[in-house]
Amino acid sequence: MKTVLNIKSSLFQQQSQSSQLSATLAQQLLGEQDQLVTRDLATEPVPHLTAERFTAFLTPAADRTPEQQAVVAYSDALIDELRAADVIVLGLPMYNFGVPSTLKAYFDHVARAGVTFQYTAEGPKGLLTGKKVYVLATRGGNYQGTPADTQTSYVRLFLNFIGITDVEFVYAEGLALGEAHKTQALEKANAAILELAA
């Protein structure tokens, strides 16, 4: 039995191509006894990191105010959900050459020193190991393999930092370049999904 966590980061929820592709793959990966957990960052946005929230993470547990305890409990819940997942399927649209700000806020709340990573004499060590991540990346233009694709390196770097090194990307690009191009790109992405789930 495994747990599949589907993280959707599009502003457009179920209408977005990244949400649809990620949901398709998540369903394809499920066995009869498996559990699907969905986190939609549009319907339940994670607050952006503030000095107050970051200070709550740094404050020793015994010294936290009730407000700080609530902030840490919220972060802990996100981390527990991530820790419990065996497979993570991330829907990733591109906004202005970067990741959605809600996904960055999510990353900021699950990157916690001593919880999801730790500093060692050899450098940072990720603590969320043994997981597989599939990233369904959708873009209006064609950016894969170019300097404009800041997403791939950033997402891979962040996940590696917290211990998740088995990361695979599926791209659907050129979705704004006309219906024929869009259809071809989505067909290619769906074919890749079928291969991954086989």
Instruction: Report d(CA 192, CA 198) in Å as an integer.
Output: 10
Q: Binding residue per annotation — 10?
A: yes
Instruction: Report d(CA 160, CA 156) in Å as an integer.
Output: 6
Q: Binding residue per annotation — 106?
A: no
Q: Binding residue per annotation — 119?
A: no
Q: Binding residue per annotation — 31?
A: no
Q: Binding residue per annotation — 75?
A: no
Angle at 143 between CA 18 and CA 129, to 5 degrees: 60
Supply 126's token pair: 């990720």
Instruction: Report d(CA 97, CA 148) in Å as an integer.
Output: 6
Q: Binding residue per annotation — 1?
A: no
Q: Binding residue per annotation — 138?
A: yes
Q: Binding residue per annotation — 96?
A: yes
Query: Which among 196, 41, 42, 185 has a CA at the least distance from the CA of 134?
Result: 196
Q: Binding residue per annotation — 18?
A: yes
Q: Binding residue per annotation — 140?
A: yes
Contact, 136 vs 188, CB < 8 A?
no
Burial of 84 (C-beta count, 10 Å sphere; 0-12/13-18/19+): exposed
Q: Binding residue per annotation — 94?
A: yes
State the DSSP string of 117-185: EEEETTEEEE---S-EEEEEEE-SS--TTSTT-HHHHHHHHHHHHTT--EEEEEEE--TTS-HHHHHHH
Q: Binding residue per annotation — 97?
A: yes
The annotated binding site for FMN is made up of 10, 16-18, 94-97, 138-141
The annotated binding site is made up of 10, 16-18, 94-97, 138-141
